[in-house]
Amino acid sequence: MPDWNLRDKACIVGVGSTEYGAFPETDAVGLGVDALRAAVDDAGITFDDIDGVILNRLPYDRFAEVANLQTPFLMPTEAHGRFSAIALNMAVEALASGQAKTIALVYGNDGRSAKMKYGGGAGFWAPWGFTSPGASHAMMFRRHMARFGTTSEDLAHIAVAFRDHATKNPAAVMQKPITVEDHQNSRYVCDPLHLLDYCLINDGGVAWIMTTAERAKDMKQKPVYVSGYARQDDFSQNSYPADDFWYPALQKVASQIYDRAGLRRDDIDGLMIYDNFSPTVLFALEGMGFCKQGEGGAFVRDGTLQLGRGRWPTNTSGGHLSESYMQGWALIVEAVRQLRGGQVPENRQIPNAKALQFLLATPVAASIILRNDA
């Protein structure tokens, strides 16, 4: 018996996203509503159909007021991108238990216009000049380099692949192709990480509409099923750069996710990997068993993650590194559009995509498998 009995019970039936960039004329709530309107339209429903709301990075009461959503079920989640996966599973659970029938999941971010700084604030390590999530990932990556011989140039191949995808995505903030040399020559933000290892802080909104598989059958869009979900937290090093790259937690997720989805790794056609910083992609690939621990650097060379070249087309939208940092939310939208087919430019379509996997390497290790034919 599988230890997660919600396989293919819930579907994503609508997705919406705003443009990504600088929109000082609005704010996170406004962007969230814009994205939700697009998702409602995409799903072919009305706002009156929504009886559940899950929000990320948005003030829940103000959002419900402005979006005029008076429902029996509303859950806010914290700003961390890890809540993209958590929110999705919360919706699956709420749909399965009957707490809601049609759930709007909404993310809004005005970090660029609000001049959001991920660093320089108070913190235990601030007296020593240590600050920012980027520096924490840089510290982890240096450890990876020392232990396994990984190099900054390995990371370049990740950045180059995602940028290549972004050139096929009109919504991507970064459109200019880059080379390994461009990556290596980009300035250090926190050595060993260069500018092109960092995600792009922007304004934007993203929304998903989820409902039960039963209801999804007769709706406007081809349903995308949530086939599998697994999560393991490890906050034991929350105050430090994790010295294990969250490997044990990721391994546990990897040991569960395929059984839960009823699929094998070989059945997966492409990946969406949470890429706040490029090393996270390596940690995710190693932890989830796409290669052995320490071999991630070699694994991503030669276009492994690049559409049309490698076995594992990853972040076909450009991801956080080249589309925009929408904290996992836009990666799920990309997965949905890929799985519907015909909704992204032909040169960006993963051929015959049937199942895609989302990987999240953070203190919340998680994975989601989505497919289009349950």
Partner 1 sequence: MTYLKPLPEEDKWSEPFFAGARDGKLVAQRCAETKKFFFPPAPVSPFTRDKNWTWETLSGTGKVASYVVMHQKYFPGFADEVPYPVIEVELDEGVRLLSNIVDLGERELAVGMPVEVVFQKASETFTLPVFKPRD
Q: Catalytic residue positions? A: 274, 325
Query: Is 115 among the residues that bind partner 1 (CB under 8 A)?
Result: no
Q: CB of residue 246 vs partner 1: minimum separation in angstroms?
A: 15
Longest dimension (CA), the chain: 59
Considering the complex, state which of residue 133 and residue 289 has its C-beta at the smaller distance from partner 1: 133
Return the residues of window 277-336 that contact partner 1 according to CB under 8 A: none
* CA–CA distance, 67 with 82 (Å, rounded to integer): 24
Cβ neighbours around 372 below 10 Å, total: 20
Burial zone of 177 (CB within 10 Å; 0-12 exposed, 13-18 middle, 19+ buried): exposed
* CA–CA distance, 134 with 354 (Å, rounded to integer): 34
Return the residues of window 179-198 that contact partner 1 according to CB under 8 A: 187-193
Structure tokens at 312: 């594992």
Considering the complex, state which of residue 124 and residue 345 has its C-beta at the smaller distance from partner 1: 124
Q: Identify the residue among 62, 117, 220, 311 touching partner 1 (CB under 8 A).
A: 117
Binding mask 234-253 for partner 1 (x = CB under 8 A): --x--xxx-x----------
Identify which range of 86-94, 130-138, 165-173, 251-259 contacts partner 1 by CB under 8 A.
130-138
Q: Identify the residue among 3, 124, 342, 346 touching partner 1 (CB under 8 A).
A: 124
Identify which range of 137-145, 165-173, 176-184, 346-354 contacts partner 1 by CB under 8 A.
137-145
Q: CB of residue 129 vs partner 1: minimum separation in angstroms?
A: 5
Q: State how far the alpha carbon of 205 is from the alpha carbons of 20, 69, 79, 208, in Å.
A: 8, 17, 13, 11
Q: Is 301 helix (H, G, I), strand (E, B) or coil?
A: helix
Q: CB of residue 249 vs partner 1: minimum separation in angstroms?
A: 16
Q: CB of residue 133 vs partner 1: minimum separation in angstroms?
A: 12
Residue of 88, 62, 215, 199 whose CA lies nearest to 133: 199
> Residue 106 is inside which H or E element, if any?
strand 102-110
Return the residues of window 193-232 that contact partner 1 according to CB under 8 A: 193
Q: Identify the residue among 100, 135, 250, 282 touching partner 1 (CB under 8 A).
A: 135
Strand arrangement, sheet containing 364-371: 74-77, 52-56, 102-110, 203-212, 10-17, 224-233, 364-371, 355-360, 270-273
Rounded to the nearest 5°, which phi and psi values hold at 307?
Answer: -60, 130
By CB under 8 A, name the binding residues for partner 1: 117, 119-120, 122-132, 134-135, 138-140, 142-143, 146, 187-193, 236, 239-241, 243
